[in-house]
Amino acid sequence: MSRIFKYISHKFWGPFFFAMGVFAALVVLGDTFEKLKTLSNGYSTLGAVLTYSLLMFPSWLTTIMPMACLLGAISVISEMVSNGEWTACVASGFSPKQLFRPILTCILLVAAATMLVQEFIVPPFNLKAETIYYTRIKPRDNFNLNAETDVAMKISPQQMLYAKEVDLSKGVMQEVSLDTYDEMWNIATQFIAKRMVWDPQQQSWIFEQGTQRTFVNPLEAQDQAFQSMHAPVPLHPADMAVNKAENKLLSLRDLTKRINFFKRTGLATYAAETERQAKLAAPFVTLIMCLLGMPFAISTRRKSKILNIITSMVIAFTFWWLISMVTSIGENGYINPFLAGWGPVGLFGIVVIIEYKWLKL
């Protein structure tokens, strides 16, 4: 590793952590003060608000990482330009691309770390924060983030399951009806049970306190009551995805499980798939955002550093606005989820290529 590589790399981290600290303080304090308004509702407490803010901190941190990387990169280049180091390096035979390389290496390390935090730390913290918010800050009656009410799902090509309430974390479904249809989609059998529970020892679902109804014809049926019976439902609770958690709160692993379950049961997958593709594209968003802003620090030469920062921030917010808009369109099913997740990356990637060719970098 060359000395110039180490030198520029070390210069990146100071501005990066400073920018991250400033943005984190602004965002977290703003969110905390907003939640403090709930103290007058008679339920919320200062401890609950602070706990909520602490749990949300990793999520806010991953959100501001791209901007911190961008400002860190611009600060390094601007400082080198202003004190003549950039000119000296170029005169010594270093190309702008070579001088960008240590900065981009640092940015890729941050992007990789952000991806790991987003996958393994943010989802469980966000789910805990949601639970605290709806149980201790703005309580909802019988709130359970793992439970969903009035659920209908396709178990197999000719089986439909209906449940009043589903809590997969406990392996319990309340007030269940399992309908099986023939090839003409006439109902053939129906199981109606007070509960359906998962038996981990038998690795199967069990009906409790129900009735098995067999249809001789569409107008005639034979009923047989039972206390307990094996349920012909082939899905393990771990393979199901029925809860109130928003797609953005889930990890890539949980999103993949939800998408696979939706495909198996015939439900729409475009919202979850769009979120998954957006998460996969996130590291490239950080990289391209920085590549867009970095040339302005040298193209403006001796002009104001503030101008460089403002210009780059405009680019960053434009990038975020486009990503938010396209993602929203994809989540509503108007465009392909892959295009919604990767479209902005591809578009701005082309802009980066044009920019670098125009500036001869």
Q: pLDDT tens string for the chain (361 positions)?
A: 588 899 999 999 998 998 898 888 888 888 888 888 887 777 888 888 899 989 999 988 888 898 889 888 988 888 888 888 888 888 888 888 889 999 999 999 999 999 999 999 998 998 899 889 888 888 877 777 778 888 888 888 888 999 999 998 899 999 999 999 988 888 899 999 999 999 999 999 999 999 999 988 777 889 999 999 999 988 888 888 877 677 887 889 989 988 988 887 777 889 999 999 999 998 898 899 888 888 877 765 555 556 656 766 677 778 788 888 999 999 888 999 999 999 999 998 998 899 888 877 7
Can you read off the two tokens belonging to residue 187?
A: 């109902």
Task: Please give the pLDDT value at position 245.
Answer: 74
Model-level pTM? 0.81
Task: Please give the pLDDT value at position 322.
Answer: 86
Q: Answer for the pair 135, 121: CB distance below 8 angstroms, yes or no.
A: no
Residue 47 CA, chain-centre distance (Å), reads: 27
- Distance CA(198)–CA(127), nearest Å, equals 24
Contacts of 36 (CB under 8 A, 6+ apart): 46, 49
CB neighbours of residue 219 within 10 Å = 6
Picking from 320, 314, 328, the residue whose alpha carbon sits closest to that of residue 344 is 320
Task: Please give the pLDDT value at position 342.
Answer: 94
The sign one gets for the Cα dihedral 215, 219, 220, 223 is: positive
Can you read off the two tokens belonging to residue 180?
A: 């099986």
334-342 LR contacts (CB < 8 Å, sep 24+): 337/269, 337/270, 337/273, 337/274, 337/276, 337/277, 338/273, 338/277, 340/274, 340/277, 340/278, 341/274, 341/276, 341/277, 341/278, 341/280, 341/281, 342/277, 342/281
